[in-house]
C-alpha cells in the first residue's frame, strides 16, 4: 500500500533522509520511530506530496504523491506533527471546510468521532486548549473514513485518558483493515497497535523489526522492594542485573523472559514489585546503537 525505494531528501547542512526503502502492506500498522531530527517528519512530508524527493520513488496505493496528491488526499487521513489550525474559525467551521476539500463525509461517522473524542467543536479555535485542538485535528483526519492513516505524533497534548481512547480507536481502525503509518515516541501506542516498527537514525533506516520480536529483546526494568534485605542475594542471575540498591529496594534490568526472575522471587518475601516503562526511543537506541545494518524479522 505504501512503497518507498531509495528515498532521499537533503537540506542545507547535510540533514535529511537518505536511501529509505520501506514497504507497508495493506492492513498493516507500522511504527516509525527515532530521535527528534532523525527524519520522521521529512519522510511523512514526502509521502504527503509536500516535499519533492531529491531521488528515489514513493508510491501510495500505486500513485505518486507529488503528481497525484489531490487524488491521494481523498483516501488518506493525515495528522501533522505540529498542528496549525485557522484560529478565527470555529471548530465546526473548520470541520465543514475540511469536508468540502474531500469527498463528503458520513454525518453519522463524524458524529461518532465527536462523541468518541469528547469534542465540542462550537468554540473559536483560538479559545481552545492544546489538547482540544489536537482532538479537533484527529477528528478532521478521520472524518472521511480514509483507507490510509498517516499520523505524526498523534497523542501530543492529549491527557492520559484521551491517549487511551485514541489507542483503542486506532486498534479498532487496525481491525477494520486500515493501513497506518504511526510516528510516535509513546511505547504504549506502538506496543498495543503496531505489527512492525522501523527506527531512523540520522536520516537512515537502521532497523526494522516485528513488534513480537522486539518484545523479546526489550530491556525491562523492575523496582523490587523486599521485606528482608538479605534476600537481595537471590535477585541476580544470567537473565538480569541489579543496577541500583537503595535500602530494601533494588532496581534490576531483565533481558528476555521475566519467568526465571519471578520463580526466584516466589522463594523470598517481596513487599512490592513495580515495572518501570522506558522511553521507546532510549530502548531502540540501546538495541541498535552498535548496529548500523538493517535488521528484519
Q: d(Cα 165, Cα 112) in Å, to the nearest integer?
A: 13
Grid cell 529483546 — which residue? 217
Q: Which run of H or E residues covers position 218? A: none
By residue count, the chain amounts to: 297
Q: What is the pLDDT of residue 101?
A: 79
Q: d(Cα 262, Cα 222) in Å, to the nearest integer?
A: 11
Q: What is the pLDDT of residue 40?
A: 92
CATH number corresponding to 219-277: 3.30.70
**DSSP string spanning 17-76?**
EEEEEEEE-TT-EEEEE-STTSSHHHHHHHHTTSS--SEEEEEETTB-TTTSHHHHTTTE
Q: What is the pLDDT of residue 258?
A: 80
Residue 62: exposure state from Cβ atoms within 10 A (0-12, 13-18, ≥19): exposed
Each residue's pLDDT tens digit, 63-101: 999 999 988 988 999 999 889 999 999 999 999 888 887
Residue 108, classed as helix, strand or coil, is helix
Q: Which run of H or E residues covers position 130? A: helix 130-142
Give 279's DSSP letter.
P
Q: What is the pLDDT of residue 189?
A: 80
Each residue's pLDDT tens digit, 177-189: 999 999 987 777 8
Query: 213: which residues sit within 8 A by CB, 6+ positions away?
Result: 297
The CATH T-level fold of domain 2-75+147-215 is: Rossmann fold (3.40.50)
**Residue 104 in grid coordinates:** 463528503
Q: What is the pLDDT of residue 294?
A: 44
Q: d(Cα 277, Cα 160) in Å, to the nearest integer?
A: 15
Residue 30, classed as helix, strand or coil, is strand
Q: What is the pLDDT of residue 265?
A: 87
Q: What is the pLDDT of residue 296?
A: 45
pTM of the model: 0.77
Print pLDDT tens along the chain (297 aa).
999 999 999 998 889 999 999 999 999 999 998 878 889 999 999 999 999 999 999 999 999 999 999 889 889 999 998 899 999 999 999 998 888 877 666 667 888 999 999 999 999 999 999 999 999 999 999 988 999 999 999 998 899 999 999 999 999 999 999 999 999 877 778 888 899 999 888 899 987 878 777 666 666 788 899 888 888 888 877 777 888 888 788 888 887 678 888 888 888 888 888 887 655 555 665 655 555 444 444
Q: What is the pLDDT of residue 152?
A: 93
Q: d(Cα 236, Cα 219) in Å, to the nearest integer?
A: 15
Are the beta carbons of 117 and 138 closer than 8 angstroms? yes
User: What residue spans define the domains of the chain?
Assistant: 2-75+147-215, 219-277
Are the beta carbons of 217 and 287 closer than 8 angstroms? yes
Amino acid at each position: 500500500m505504501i512503497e518507498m525505494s531509495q528515498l532521499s531528501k537533503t537540506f542545507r547542512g547535510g540533514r535529511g533522509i537518505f536511501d529509505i526503502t520501506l514497504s507497508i502492506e495493506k492492513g498493516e500498522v507500522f511504527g516509525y520511530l527515532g530521535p527528534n531530527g532523525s527524519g520522521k517528519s521529512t519522510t511523512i512530508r514526502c509521502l504527503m506530496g509536500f516535499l519533492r524527493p531529491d531521488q528515489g520513488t514513493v508510491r501510495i496505493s500505486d500513485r505518486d504523491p507529488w503528481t497525484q496528491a489531490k487524488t491521494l488526499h481523498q483516501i488518506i487521513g493525515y495528522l501533522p506533527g505540529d498542528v496549525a489550525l485557522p484560529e478565527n474559525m470555529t471548530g465546526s467551521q473548520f470541520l465543514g471546510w475540511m469536508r468540502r476539500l474531500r469527498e463528503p463525509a458520513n454525518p453519522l461517522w463524524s458524529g461518532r468521532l465527536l462523541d468518541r473524542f469528547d469534542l465540542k467543536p462550537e468554540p473559536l479555535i483560538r479559545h481552545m486548549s492544546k489538547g482540544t485542538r489536537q482532538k479537533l485535528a484527529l477528528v478532521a483526519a478521520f472524518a472521511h473514513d480514509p483507507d490510509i492513516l498517516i499520523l505524526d505524533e498523534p497523542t501530543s497534548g492529549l491527557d492520559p485518558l484521551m491517549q487511551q481512547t485514541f489507542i483503542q480507536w486506532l486498534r479498532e481502525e487496525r481491525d477494520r483493515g486500515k493501513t497506518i503509518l504511526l510516528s510516535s515516541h509513546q511505547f504504549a501506542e506502538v506496543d498495543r497497535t503496531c505489527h512492525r516498527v522501523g527506527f531512523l537514525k540520522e536520516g537512515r533506516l537502521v532497523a526494522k523489526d516485528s513488534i513480537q520480536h522486539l518484545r523479546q529483546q526489550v530491556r525491562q526494568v523492575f523496582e523490587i522492594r523486599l521485606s528482608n534485605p538479605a534476600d537481595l542475594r537471590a535477585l541476580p542471575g544470567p537473565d538480569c542485573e541489579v543496577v541500583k540498591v537503595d535500602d530494601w529496594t533494588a532496581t534490576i534490568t531483565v533481558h528476555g523472559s521475566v519467568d526465571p526472575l519471578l520463580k526466584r522471587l516466589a522463594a523470598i518475601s517481596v513487599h512490592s514489585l513495580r515495572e518501570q516503562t522506558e522511553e521507546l526511543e532510549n530502548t531502540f537506541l540501546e538495541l541498535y546503537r552498535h548496529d548500523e545494518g538493517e535488521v528484519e524479522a
